[in-house]
Amino acid sequence: MKKHDRDSFSASIYHSFPGQERFDFPEYLARVTSGFGGETFLIFGSEKTALYDCGMAYCSNETIKNIEKELKRRDRKSPDFILISHTHYDHIGALPYILKVWPDVEVCGAGKALEVFQSAGAKRTMERLGKAAWEVFSNAYRNIYENSAEAEITAEGMRIDRIVKDDDIIDLGDIKVRVIECKGHTDCSLAYALEPMRLLLTCESTGVLRNPQVLHTAFVKNYWESIESAKKCKAYGANQLMVQHFGLTPKGYTDEFFDWYMEIAKAEKDMILTLHKAGLSKEEIMEKYIEAFWSSERGKAQPYAAFIENGRHIINNIIKLYKEYEH
């Protein structure tokens, strides 16, 4: 492929790769996403069904309707598992509402995810950002989500039933889901590989794809761990990727994706450290960060409040940790 334009939003913020529609899923997958936010879909094994992530709280009613529709179409009554990629509000916001409908489902996630769900401060952050998402995105969907209300957004009732780690297998019958720990975006980030087809469901530790020309980094917790996660995912040797917030990439587009991520992540890290070493304060660095990475087009896919929250964490953690990792 041609050299990637890392900063350009001249094209539509989302569009597929030539020859591969991003939502042209194989028959064992069904997209049940609603509204803007993290992608969520059902994985149908021969014996059991897993729901991958849950999407945002503000559109949970429609997400649940989509899940019910696909389950009915496959003559299944409930998901058996929920696979949590990480504990950010746009991926687990609808979890409490889904658990009210299917209380017996087994929620799988990292040990750190359990700690997050038990933290009052973390839950307050989820609720605050969930409400910010409501304010940004709900107007576009008000005719659909007319029964939703900002006051209903809650992070209470979240749980992890089964703590999973590297190389654990979640058995769906003919499909086995292999767990890959991928820190960097968060300490609880997980990728999942569907076997035997070797379809890798990536996590945000290795970037958020918008289209074939635009990939955003998201190493909120630790840049250096995100690079190790990219190396680990590349070494897995997937046949195809399902990238968070995007969908399917072409078969064989694997090494290039992770190499691209590592290239732009390093450039972002280097920019922050250069400004820090030049004596700029964190607030001044944040201003430069906004100039470099925010645009009105980006706002169509991410609330500004979430971008700022992530940006501050990225800057703080790079400055805090670079001596440990680079000296």
Model pLDDT for residues 241-251, shown as the tens digit of each residue: 999 999 999 99
Rounded to the nearest integer, the mean pLDDT of the chain is 90
**Pair of tokens at residue 157:** 């009732």
Does the pLDDT at position 164 exceed 70? Answer: yes
The per-residue pLDDT for 178 is: 98
Residue 235 gets which letter from DSSP? H
Sequential DSSP letters for 100-157: HH-TTPEEEE-HHHHHHHT-HHHHHHHHHHHHHHHHHHGGGGTTTSTT--GGG---TT
Over residues 135-160, the mean pLDDT reads: 67
Widest CA span of the chain, in angstroms? 62
Q: pTM of the full predicted structure?
A: 0.91
CB 51 within 8 A of CB 169: no
Region for residue 323 given its phi and psi (left: phi exceeds 0; alpha: psi -120 to 50; beta: otherwise): alpha
How high is the pLDDT of residue 223?
Answer: 98
pLDDT at 3 over 70: no
Rounded Cα–Cα distance for residues 293 and 307 (Å): 9
- Please report, to the nearest 10 degrees, the dihedral formed by the alpha carbons of residues 192, 198, 202, 206 taken in order: 120
What confidence tens digit (pLDDT) does each residue in 36-72 have? 778 999 999 999 999 999 999 988 999 999 999 999 9
Per-residue confidence (pLDDT) for residue 131, from 0 to 100? 86
